[in-house]
Amino acid sequence: MSGRVVLAMSGGVDSSAAAYLLKEQGYEVIGLFMRSGATEDVCALPEENPLQIIDPKSHKQGCCSAEDAADARRIADQLDIPFHALNFKDAFGRIKDYFAEEYLSGRTPNPCVQCNNWLKFGKIWDFAKQVRADKIATGHYAQIQIDAEGKHGLHRGLDGNKDQSYVLFGINPGLLENIIFPVGNNTKDEIREMSRSAGLTRVSEKRDSQEICFIPDNDYAAFIDRYCDERPETAGDLVDTGGNVLGTHDGFQRFTVGQRKGLGITFGEPRYVISIQPDTKRVVIGTKEDLAQSDLQADQLNWMVPTTETRFTCMAKIRYRHTAATAEVELVGDDLVNVRFQEPQYGVAPGQAVVFYDDDRVLGGGWIR
């Protein structure tokens, strides 16, 4: 046997294929589904044991992804691996708080990164230690590679269109040796074909999730209105880059830097959200040229590769779908960097992550200020 591994199972094709691959490699696999909340008292967990296992035979579902939970359980049964569903309501509450607070501060949050930091590679590792597993695994498209010095590093996934290394930059680097990404050296098409061949037909053609799990309708502003019992007034003016009032808006949390649609005003040519000013409640609108930025500052840094240099050149990404661009990074404090791009970039949004790469290896990253 290769050891015991706890696998985060979402009910999708990637984590299902990961379960199949791990079994093929000889691992003793324990499947784990994360529930984000509960609608019934039976799912409520006592504070003293936040990792209490929900009875897998219970038909009472939490408030999120009941169908996915059922798919994950069926795949686990098909592959003959133990399966548990844990209620992470409190931990997901922290992510929801962060999400709302960031938008109400005029920033653009990235809950998927925080979910990885706090839950998938935090709480799940806690659970793995409880069940004496020495590894955890997920269906992310990324790779863990060992360099010439025997150090584990985080690298891009083989499939450039599906690479998820950007959202993994915040993982504790000391945990990398305990992480497996079984699908990371495959393309998405290969994973789907593998799932079909393995008889995992229930998920082999399942669509990838595009929404934030706790906002299935993708309406961020409506979620914040429902979630926050009390929130400050956020309605204000739409202005151009010269400060001239163009109109009004119902709340700046409805906007994000780089947004083009849903501005509430029709222009003769495309206009974009250039910045959000929570103090004045103003949303600044401008042209694509106005959106271009050559510099940014980031803090809350996490380094995957220790650096002794105070200035270096690398490739940097400012959002998940952004093509990495050449940049010079300068450390100006223990937890602060200035980043200057060789060419201006569009849509630099405070609250998003900037992630640094050396070829395919993740050097580290931080949060854009």
Segment among 93-102, 139-148, 213-222, 321-330 with least mean pLDDT: 213-222
List, in order, residues 6 or more apart from 285 with CB less than 8 Å away.
Answer: 238, 239, 240, 241, 246, 263, 265, 271, 272, 273, 274
Q: Are residues 60 and 84 in the same domain?
A: yes
Q: Would you please indicate which residues are annotated as catalytic (active-site) residues?
A: 115, 213
**Which pTM was predicted?**
0.89
Do the domain assignments include residue 220? no
Q: Are residues 238 and 340 in the same domain?
A: no
Do the domain assignments include residue 169? yes
Q: What mean pLDDT do residues 155-180 have?
A: 96
CATH of the domain at 261: 2.30.30
Report which of 17, 10, 5, 14 is spatially closest to residue 79, judged by C-alpha positions: 17
- Expressed as residue numbers, the domain containing 363 is 293-368
Look at residues 223, 253, 286 and tell me which one is the last residue of a structural domain: 286
* Residue 173 predicted with pLDDT over 80: yes
Q: Are residues 282 and 299 in the same domain?
A: no
Q: Are residues 145 and 14 in the same domain?
A: yes
Q: Are residues 109 and 182 in the same domain?
A: yes
Q: Are residues 108 and 180 in the same domain?
A: yes
For the chain, how many structural domains are there in total? 3
Q: What mean pLDDT do residues 320-342 have?
A: 96
* Residue 57 predicted with pLDDT over 60: no
Residue indicated by tokens 């999120």: 64
Chain-centroid distance, C-alpha 158:
19
User: Would you place residue 169 in the very low, low, confident or very high pLDDT band (cuts 50, 70, 90)?
Assistant: very high
Q: Are residues 28 and 149 in the same domain?
A: yes
Do the domain assignments include residue 257? yes
Segment among 13-22, 113-122, 155-164, 175-184 with least mean pLDDT: 113-122
54: region left, alpha or beta (phi > 0 left; psi from -120 to 50 alpha): beta
The per-residue pLDDT for range 1-29, each reduced to its tens digit, is: 479 999 999 999 999 999 999 999 999 99
User: Would you place residue 334 in the very low, low, confident or very high pLDDT band (cuts 50, 70, 90)?
Assistant: confident
CATH of the domain at 349: 2.40.30.10
Q: Are residues 10 and 88 in the same domain?
A: yes
Q: Are residues 12 and 128 in the same domain?
A: yes
Look at residues 271, 286, 301 and tell me which one is the last residue of a structural domain: 286
Do the domain assignments include residue 131? yes
Q: Are residues 250 and 267 in the same domain?
A: yes
CATH of the domain at 133: 3.40.50.620
Do the domain assignments include residue 226? no
Q: What is the pLDDT of residue 102?
A: 96
The per-residue pLDDT for range 252-308, each reduced to its tens digit, is: 999 999 999 999 888 889 999 999 999 999 999 999 999 999 999 999 999 999 888
* Residue 109 predicted with pLDDT over 60: yes
The per-residue pLDDT for range 185-213, each reduced to its tens digit, is: 999 999 999 999 999 998 998 888 777 88
Q: Are residues 171 and 47 in the same domain?
A: yes
* Residue 61 predicted with pLDDT over 80: no
Do the domain assignments include residue 219? no
**CA atoms lying within 13 Å on the CB side of residue 141:** 18
Q: Are residues 133 and 176 in the same domain?
A: yes
Which three-class secondary structure string do you get for the chain?
Answer: CCCEEEEECCCCHHHHHHHHHHHHCCCEEEEEEEECCCCCHHHCCCCCCCCCEECCCCCCCCCCCHHHHHHHHHHHHHHCCCEEEEECHHHHHHHHHHHHHHHCCCCCCCHHHHHHHHHHHHHHHHHHHHCCCCEEECCCCEEEEECCCCCEEEEECCCCCCCCHHHHCCCCHHHHHHEECCCCCCCHHHHHHHHHHCCCHHHHCCCCCCCCCCCCCCCHHHHHHHHCCCCCCCCEEEEECCCCEEEEECCHHHCCCCCCCCCCCCCCCCCEEEEEECCCCEEEEECHHHHEEEEEEEEEEEECCCCCCCEEEEEEECCCCCCCEEEEEEEEECCEEEEEEEEEEECCCCCCEEEEEECCEEEEEEEEC
Structure tokens at 6: 């706890």
Do the domain assignments include residue 217? no
213 phi, psi to nearest 5 deg = -60, -35
User: Would you place residue 35 in the very low, low, confident or very high pLDDT band (cuts 50, 70, 90)?
Assistant: confident
Do the domain assignments include residue 197? yes
